[in-house]
Structure 1
Amino acid sequence: MAQAQQQPAADQPIQKVLVTGSNIAKIDAETAMPVTVMRREDIVRTGANSVTELLNTLTASTGSLTDIGGSNSFAGGASSASLRNLGKQSTLVLLNSRRVAPYALADYNEVFTNLDSLPLDAIERVEVLRNGGSAVYGSDAVAGVINIITRGDFQGVQLKATQDQSLKNSEFRTRSASITGGLGDFGSDGYNVLANVEVFKRDPVMWRSVVDDINPAYGEKFSTVAPGSGRMFGDRGAPSSFSYPGNILGYAGGGGPVPGCTTVAAGLCQYDRFSRFQAIPEAERVNALVSGKLRISDTVDAFAEVLLSSTKTTYQSAFPTYDSTAADTVWGNPVTGERLSFTSLSLPATHPLNTLGEPAGLRYRFADSGGSEAVKSSQYRALTGLKGSLNQYDWETAVGVMGSRTKSRGRGTFSASGFKQVIGDYSQYDADYTPLDPNFFNRGYVIGGQNSPEVLNTLFPEYGYDGKITQTFIDGKISGEVAKWGDRSISAAVGGELRHEKFEISPTANLLAGDIVGNGSATADAKRMTGAAFAEVNIPVTKTFEVTGAARLDKYEDFDAHVSPKLAFRWEASKQLLVRGTVESGFRAPNLTESAQSSKFAFDNGVVDPRRCPQALALAKDLRARAGGLASSDPNYALLNARADTVEGDECAAGVFSNVRNNPDLAPETSRSATLGLVFEPVKGYSVAFDYWRIERKDEIGLKSTDDLLAAEADQPAGVIERAALSSDKTFTAAEQAQYGVTTGSLVGTSGMFENVSKTKTSGFDLTGSARFRTAYGRVNVDANATFLTDLRFYSTTLGGYGDNLAGRYGAPKIVANTTVSLDSGNFSNALRASYNKSTQLRGDFFDDSYTVEGCADRGWAESECRVGSYVRWDYTLAYRGLKGWTLTAFVRNIFDHRPPVDLRSFSSGGGGVIPQSYEDVQGRSLRLTAEYRF
């Protein structure tokens, strides 16, 4: 990894190069902007097997969507990039300096580039502009720009095959293969054609196969099967009384397993829920790139490029459960806006399986639901253009079309109409939640029995989304010397772009009708034209000091024109010291899901209800204390613990619905950013760079957060926050309401529309260093990179100001760093890499009382457990090139087999104290073997 490109040798002609962040080619690659360059050899040393993995090695990279964790998102099956904690919509991803079509499904309101559609082996280098780039590239380049440059003038054929497998649990396995071919020497033949095809396959991993290797620290905190055993869930796994064929339980005692259960323990039918908890989804990808260039004359070249991609990700989900005492599930009808509710009712006394003579509770798992989701996506980009020179000017123009299609289909959630048809009407019941229908659960679906495909398809129909994006564009630019400043040249560039885009998101009919219980829905159908004009000028004020100014005007249909200016300077204070800095204004235009016709019914998960969570924690603590006084063979032992988990989850990690509509009156998000840096090279081959950065973003498009709304609930207009009546409370009985001081009904949901509601400011500095020297053992390269986060604040409408500084809080470590030391000796190349993340608190912003030291103590966690510890991971790469045409590479990830630090918050809120959230905890050390042959 480097800050600047290598200088040419003395006998080579000096060529100007175009670096990301500018439209003016220059001899000096170390520009006024902080740019990180990752070349092919750097990419190999990271051990990355995909573009997503590669970009995650950047110290400025912050958590974003991945296809591994996308099963519960609106945009499953895709991965995105994010820089500076500003989200995936504020990081612009380019391929050969031009945009790539966004993924065809928005992640709620976020539109982004799918990194999984980009071929890794076709990459020559990656250039990362670590500050705003809107003055050059337009919308979205607020936090930075990632420009992926593919190979040029490649000749010959390269075959490559890779297998990656965990040495701790062999279930973690990926395989990839690629073929790259190039024909023609552009310098002598006047043409070159490059073709690359890359295939990738990742095996699925279920938690059942690896659960015994989970860090025992989680078991000590969350185990309800074998407390103190030192293992996660004792010897059985994680048995649940929500089982198949189920349990029928009397409200005053009595009852037990449904006949036919073969896994009875503690007097109840049990189910191994880990058999359906997925750690890694299956993935298959095929990416292809074909590019070519042709010399038409001494001054004109033609070029063309086609990118094709096909991806498929398959998610397995937990089978749905039924609990007669569960809180109502609330969602809505996207067409009418009607609030819908599903109520779990008792099993009637007349049901053939109910032998208690009175209505009873049913604990059941629909193991025949077929819970799964498959997401298939295709993407393309085709462009062609001309470039050349005219006198002292260089010019380029291109025209192209791009797009993507995505189809997601899943099963495993009730159809509201289907439930009424084959089970019964859940909306008709008496004051004790007993169904008025005497044939409830006896209308076609057989509890624990064989059900026909017709019944199952009626109860669990297929549902999902079809997304489609198309864009066409034409662009052009010209650059060159326009005047003299003394004996120095003033260079300038001007250009423009026209783009048409269309975005459609269509849910299946059952989603659009609100027929899938508890599921959100998103729709979009819009199109627009955009146009842009830009200019840039570089003035060498003195031989050592230059100034660059740039501005871009973007006009989006239905929005006022927006101008993004930039000013940068570069000063060679001495041969060893370079000083540089930038100031820039950036923006992000509202995307079509935010401003044009669209609607969203969604769920906000992990919500802490400040008016009920403290009481729920107290009740859960008492329930567990009561269970602790019973023998583990007593059925009430498991029931009390299960109820404690439910009480805590429903009130302290709740899922509430959110009804959101588009807003045509939105204004663009705007930003101001600044950098100031030093590059010091005391002697040739040794350099260090320091860059301070600061970004302030305002008019952010979004919703007032649920946390903010709840923190000021009394001030909200009617209808913004919806709660159930206290009389219908399913978490607390009437006696418990009085005992624990519960005076408010359970949280149901919120309503609103997209607004320019917030702002963010963040700052820090990047430190990079490199060394190149020779020893008796070979050539040594040292590259070190670190990002220090000093300030990260989000505006709170509740406070009327910024919240706490989140640097060092949950998800925002103050220091992220990596260092790579490589040794090239003869036919061998070695690289040792260390990656470091500094410890963080579990607490988020000011309203996050549940994870303060006091909040952790209420959960029974020590102060030392109320944080995520620091972590260092060591990787090693060995490459051998002693066989003609062959390169054999071994990459060992996590060579010391260190576990990631314990994260009790993630396990508690994200996994409900049951589902692990980090597959790295059980993946351990892994080995990647690569064989590459070139001829």
Structure 2
Amino acid sequence: MFQETVIFRAVRTLCTGGVVAAASLLSQSAMAQDTQAGEAPLQRVEVTGSSIKRIAAEGALPVTILTADAIRASGATSVTDLVKNLSSAQGSTGETGSVGGSTFGFSGISVHNVGETRTLVLLNGKRLAQFGGQTLTGFAAGFDLNSIPISAIERVELLTDGASALYGADAIAGVVNFITKHDTTKGDVTIGYSSPKDGAREKRISATKGFGNVDEDGYNVVLTFGHDERTKLASVDRSFANTGKVQFSANGKRYQKQQFSASPIPANATDDLGQLISPYQRTNGSCPEKTFRVIEPYNDGSGLADDYCGYDFTKDLEIYPERKRDNFMASATFKIAGHEVFSDVLLSRSKQVSRIAPVPGAISIDAGSALHTKYLLPLGITGDSTAYYRLFDMGQRTSNDTAEFASVVVGTRGNAAGWDYNATYNFSESRVKGSIAGYPGAIAVGKLTSSGLLDPFVGPGQQSAAAQQAIKDATYSGYWDGGTSRLQTINLNGSRELMRLAGGGLMLGVGANINREEFSSKPSLFAQGALADPAAGVLCGGTSGLECDQRFGDAASSLPYSASRTSKGVFGELIAPVLKQLELGAALRVDDFSDFGNATTAKASFKWTPAPALLIRGSVGNGFHAPTVPQVNARQTGYGVTSEKYTCTPALQAIATSLNAVCQSGNRQYDQLAGGNRDLKPEKSRQATLGFRYEPFNALTLGADLWHVQIRDSFGQLTEQLVFANPANFPGSWGVNTDVGTGKTYLAFLANNQNLGKSYATGVDVDVSVRYRSPIGLLTSQLNVTQMLREQIQLERDGAYYSAIGNFAELGTVTFRTRGQLATTLKTGNWANTLTVNFRSGYRDQETSVEVLDNAGNVTGQEDIRMKVGFFSTLDWQTVWTPRESWALTAGVLNLLDKNPPFVPSTSGSGRGQQFGYDDRYYDSRGRTLYVNASYRF
């Protein structure tokens, strides 16, 4: 009967997780041979995706295992870096998304780009609380990988087939199970250092020690601690990210793309026709420092154009944020009366600091005022004006985010009345606190201007001493927003053999669980718009009669709320080896949600071994995914601005008029609103897999798993591009927002949560391993590839279908058609050298408006283009030296050739920060990175 050997699992581990030392492969190969020869019996263990304890090699579902050796040898310094190299992981959020975005440093994982919210993350098979900083749209409604110390991980099991009966029907994309170190007395101390050029340098230390043997001493305790720190990386330290003004060639032409803000220093202002001009440029004939001239014709047929100085905010970004992390984990097991009582405790804290350009915003300049008379009247501007200004003297806007996570699991396991049982209670909580600096209130800035202290038309550092002090006094520094997510779960499950069949024992697994989810949104008084003087903390409204202020530049208030849900579930699972060559499986689960009623889901699977070297397997099932608590219950609030600029067309003007609002003049970004939706329906899915494993001889292993996921009533928001293209077709997608700084009520885009429609995704995960014992050592080469075959997604119910495969357009993201890794290791004595090729296919970038240049570099017009981003690959090198069993020294280079990310001119997209010139969601800006790790084991 075909069994997936241990060496084959190690090979697949290498393919998905990075690099596996050849020494590990040799030892595991010997272990597999001994087991197959009958010298050591295979033990039954819990395998991700099933409630039944069974031999790991027997699984009928596609589970990839990353061993501790694979993790150490991968060069990954964190769980985040580890999983982002998996070929089957696409669409995950990284730390750089915090640059200009409200991510609070969240890092998640999405399997096959089906979604982070549909990918279930477990710790030792237990659910964990979702991120406390998740948004009301569902972003970051997953587990923050920064909370798990990589030093505590024994192995990672990745199930790429979803809707598990054991864990819950909501794991539509798959399950990632982090298994920590248990039942060991070994100790390990590791120190490491990573050094990219000019920034993002990292130092780390971790220690693990186990005490006691469960069988001999009746107890075991394992303690793990990890600490790491990383410095910032500034945009100006990378040639591909240091400016918002880039000239490039494509399609046989020369182009220019300018990424900028219309709020510079000195300020731009509107003239009597509503056009944006630069008083500084009109007076001096050139734009000031850190800006460039921008000419934007209106596309409404009026013949008008904005002619102003755009601020190059890209130069002020820190594209990799500072970070400090501390993790502690304790696992204890005690043997009492033949049963095990155990507990796992995880405590973690991540602190991240990200900085972007000084705050921009709008200031009203009334006709007849001193500023108007001095700067605007000489230019022929006679009416009221609005100045678009950047408070440069207040310094960079800074986000200082802290994410704390705690998890406690207590339980008992063992055998009773012929049942292998496991009963647990687990409590987990994610607390997120986001503090800010460099922000004033909009009314406070207006008062500075009207008092005559603040002059928005002078350059950096040119304010009077009194104005500088007033700016300092108006600066808010402190807590801004955050939240708490809590999960409590009681689980009881067991398995046993019911009877003997022709192929073995008929196995039954049953279980039940109760979950209690809670979420609290905790905006500060400033974020709620409840302060008259944010810097001093003075309350507004009520008996005070003081006007409430909001944040300058993105005035919007959010209200606190709390909500919860309870869910209960029961499940049963059967594994029936009807023949020695054929095993069938079936599972049924029933869930009851306090807010969404009942759901019944099922799964069927098979495993067939027609020949000793060939295994064929498959499964089919359905899933049920309720929206998050915030997606349903959050109050409507300001949600930033649109990613693109839009002109006030007659259709937009009609919408604005109907809402008694002002339509933005010229090409402007619009305020965005969002809120929960109590009418949301759950997502429902169907999944299927079909795969094989073939090992014709010991030196070659082949495998492939075809997978398919289809979802209906998917959660999301109508895209701004769709709504702005046809404003009248979406009357429910509009609202208003009042800017307290100018007092004007503007038309706003309303992006509430909705059930959008259906989606389909199909692909294949392929792995190939070749092993050869050469005269100089053992040579292994492993290839792992995920190939996307189909993706179709609706942006509205009964609407057209779109695909992101090789296409950055309507969906605001890219799904790479091909993504993979090829690793080759040579083991010679106590040395192991590995060369790894990481690769992904190209795509067509989003359509972008650029300027056309002539041979002399002059702008001759504008053109909409779609760039082709080519195939991209990087090389990693690693050397491992183990002079003795207790010592190991690992040195390597990531991105060996220091290859820059490909240039992309697009500027929008779901989850993107403010970086320009490359897409930080897909490419690492750190460049060539040297690292070294030294480990002492005892």
Q: Distance in 2 between matches of 1:63 and 1:803?
A: 19
In the alignment, structure 1 residue 491 sits paired with structure 2 residue 510: no
1:91 aligns with 2:119: yes
Q: Does 1:23 align with 2:37?
A: no
Deviation at 1:380, TM superposition (A): 0.4
TM-fit CA distance, 1:830: 1.5
Q: Which of the numbers 580, 597, 606 marks the counterpart of 2:617?
A: 580
Paired residues of 1:304 and 1:382 also in contact (CA < 8 A) = yes
Bigger mean CA offset, 575-584 vs 244-253 = 244-253
For the aligned residue pairs, the C-alpha RMSD in angstroms reads 4.1
Q: Which residue in the other structure is 1:419 paired with?
A: 445
Residue identity matched to 2:101: S
For 2:569 and 2:518, locate their aligned partners in 1 and report how far apart those are by CA, in whole Å: 18
Letter in 2 for 1:97: G
1:92-141 residue CA offsets vs partner (Å, 9 max, x unmatched):
11111111221111134321100011100111111110121342211531
Which residue number in structure 2 is paired with residue 504 of structure 1?
520
Structure 2 match to 1:563: 600
Q: 2:74 pairs with 10, 31, 46, which one?
A: 46
The change in CA–CA distance for 1:567 and 1:512 in structure 2 (over 3 A counts) is: same
CA contact (8 A) 1:603 1:655 kept: no
Residue 550 of structure 2: SS of its match in structure 1? coil
**DSSP 3-state at the match of 2:340:** strand
Q: Whole-Å Cα distance in 2 between the matches of residues 77 and 288 of structure 1?
A: 19
State the match for 2:720 in structure 1. 706
Find out whether 1:530 has 2:567 as its counterpart: yes
Deviation at 1:576, TM superposition (A): 1.1
Partner of 1:880: 881
Q: Contact 2:433 / 2:483 at 8 angstroms: preserved in 1?
A: yes
Aligned AA for 2:781?
A: V
> Which residue pairs with 1:32 in the alignment?
60
Instruction: Give the deviation of 1:64 after TM superposition.
Output: 2.4
Q: Secondary structure at the match of 1:92?
A: strand
Q: Which residue of 1 aligns with 2:436?
A: 410
1:41 offset after TM fit, Å? 2.2
Whether the 8 Å CA contact 2:602–2:622 is kept in 1: the answer is yes
Give, in angstroms, the shift of residue 263 of structure 1: 9.8
Where do 5+ consecutive residues of structure 1 fail to align? Answer: 323-341, 425-436, 616-648, 731-745
Any conservation in 1 of the 2:365–2:371 contact (CA below 8 Å)? no
- After superposition, the C-alpha distances for 1:370-420 in whole angstroms (9 at most, x for unaligned) are 421100111100111110012432001011221121110113344133223
User: Partners in 2 of 1:125 and 1:348 — Cα distance?
Assistant: 71
Q: Residue deviations 1:761-804, cap 9 Å, x none?
A: 11111111223443332233332111111111111338x34423
Please tell me the residue identity of whatever aligns with 1:931.
Answer: A
Secondary structure in 1 aligned to 2:166?
helix
Letter in 1 for 2:107: S
| Residue 719 of structure 2 is aligned to residue 684 of structure 1 | no
Partners of 2:496 and 2:292 lie apart in 1 by 80
Please report how far the alpha carbon of residue 487 of structure 1 lies from its aligned counterpart in structure 2 after TM superposition. 6.6
Residue number in structure 1 paired with 2:390: 365
1:877 is displaced (CA, Å) by 1.0
Q: Which amino acid aligns with 1:305?
A: D
Tell me the residue number matched to 2:906. Answer: 905
Task: Provide the residue aligned with 2:930 in structure 1.
Answer: 927
Distance 2:68 2:685 in 1: 33
**Residues 870 and 12 (structure 1), Cα distance of their counterparts in 2 relative to 1, 3 Å cut:** same
Q: 2:107 aligns with which of 79, 92, 100?
A: 79
Q: Which residue of 2 aligns with 1:290?
A: 330
Give the partner amino acid of 1:504.
Answer: S
1:804 is matched by which residue type in structure 2? Answer: Y
> 2 CA distance for matches of 1:186 and 1:558?
43
**Is 1:762 the counterpart of 2:797 in the alignment?**
no
* Change in CA separation of 1:551 and 1:255 when aligned onto 2, cut-off 3 Å: same
SS at match of 2:393: coil
* TM-score normalized by the length of structure 1: 0.80
Range 355-364 or range 413-422, more displaced? 355-364
Output the CA distance in 2 between the equivalents of 1:172 and 1:447. 33
Distance 1:700 1:164 in 2: 41
1:315 pairs with one of 345, 354, 359: 354
Shift in Å, 1:546: 1.0
**Preserved CA contact (<8 Å) 1:73 1:107:** no
Could you say which residue in structure 2 is the equivalent of 1:644? Answer: none
Which protein, 1 or 2, shows the higher relative CO under an 8 Å CA cutoff with sep ≥ 6? 2
| Identical-residue share of aligned pairs (%) | 25
Q: Secondary structure at the match of 2:601?
A: strand
1:154-553 mapped onto 2 (5 Å cutoff): 154-166=184-196, 169-208=197-236, 210-212=237-239, 219-221=246-248, 242-243=264-265, 250=279, 253-254=282-283, 276-298=316-338, 300-321=339-360, 344-345=364-365, 350-351=370-371, 354=374, 358=378, 364-370=389-395, 371-424=397-450, 448-450=463-465, 451=467, 455-458=471-474, 460=476, 462=478, 464-486=480-502, 488-513=504-529, 515-517=550-552, 518-520=554-556, 522=558, 523-553=560-590
**After superposition, where does 1:860-871 map in structure 2 within 5 Å?**
866-871=867-872
Query: Is the 1:197–1:287 contact (alpha carbons within 8 Å) kept by the matching residues of 2?
Result: yes
Q: Aligned partners of 2:665, 2:376: CA distance in 1, in Å? A: 29
Kept in 1: contact 2:221–2:332 (CA 8 A): yes
Match of 1:620 in 2: none
Counterpart of 1:668 in structure 2 is: 682
Q: Deviations over 1:604-634 (max 9, x none)?
A: 532364886999xxxxxxxxxxxxxxxxxxx
Instruction: Give the aligned residue type for 2:44.
Output: K
C-alpha distance in 2 between matches for 1:315 and 1:398:
39
* SS, match of residue 137 in structure 2: coil
Whole-Å separation in 2 of the counterparts to 1:265 and 1:691 = 52
Residue in 2 that maps onto 1:592 = 629
State which drifts further: 654-663 or 109-118: 654-663
1:576–1:682 Cα contact (<8 Å) kept: yes
C-alpha change, 1:833 and 1:912, in structure 2 (3 Å) is closer
* More displaced stretch, 458-467 vs 486-495: 458-467
What are the superposed Cα offsets for residues 162-197 of structure 1, whole Å, 9 maximum, x if unpaired? 11112xx23231111111111123343332211111
The 2-side partners of 1:595 and 1:933 are apart by 50
Distance 2:438 2:702 in 1: 55
Partner AA of 1:776 in structure 2: P
Distance across 2 between alignment mates of 1:610 and 1:128: 47
Q: How does 1:625-636 map to 2 (within 5 A)?
A: none
- In 2, the alpha carbon distance for the partners of 1:794 and 1:611 equals 29
Length, aligned pairs only: 826
Determine which of 795, 805, 808 is the counterpart of 1:807: 805
When residues 305 and 585 of structure 1 are mapped into structure 2, their CA distance, relative to the original with a 3 A threshold, is same
- CA deviation digits over 1:282-311, x for unaligned, max 9? 00000111101122133x111111000011
* Deviations 1:215-260 (CA, angstroms, capped at 9, x unpaired): 999732499xxx99x9999xxx9999933799996499436899xx
The 5 Å alignment of 1:751-830 reads 751=750, 753-797=752-796, 800-810=798-808, 811-830=814-833
Helix, strand or coil for the counterpart of 1:516?
coil
Report the CA distance shift for 1:544/1:219 in structure 2 as closer, same or farther (over 3 A). same
CA contact (8 A) 1:418 1:460 kept: no
Shift of 1:680: 0.8
Q: Which amino acid aligns with 1:19?
A: V
Distance 1:478 1:65 in 2: 36
CA displacement at 1:507 relative to structure 2: 0.8
Deviations 1:441-499 (A, max 9, x none): 599x9962334666534354645113112222211111010233347311011011112
Tell me whether 503-512 or 306-315 shows the greater mean CA deviation.
503-512
Preserved CA contact (<8 Å) 1:51 1:116: yes
Q: Name the CA shift for 1:407/1:806 in 2 (closer, same or farther; >3 Å).
A: closer
Q: Which amino acid aligns with 1:661?
A: G
TM-score of the two chains, using structure 2 as the length reference: 0.80
Kindly provide the amino acid, as one letter, of the partner of residue 372 in structure 1.
Answer: T
C-alpha separation between the residues in 1 aligned to 2:874 and 2:448?
A: 53
Give the whole-Å Cα distance in 2 for the aligned partners of 1:858 and 1:807.
34
Please give the alpha-carbon distance, in whole angstroms, between the structure 1 residues aligned to 2:432 and 2:107: 14
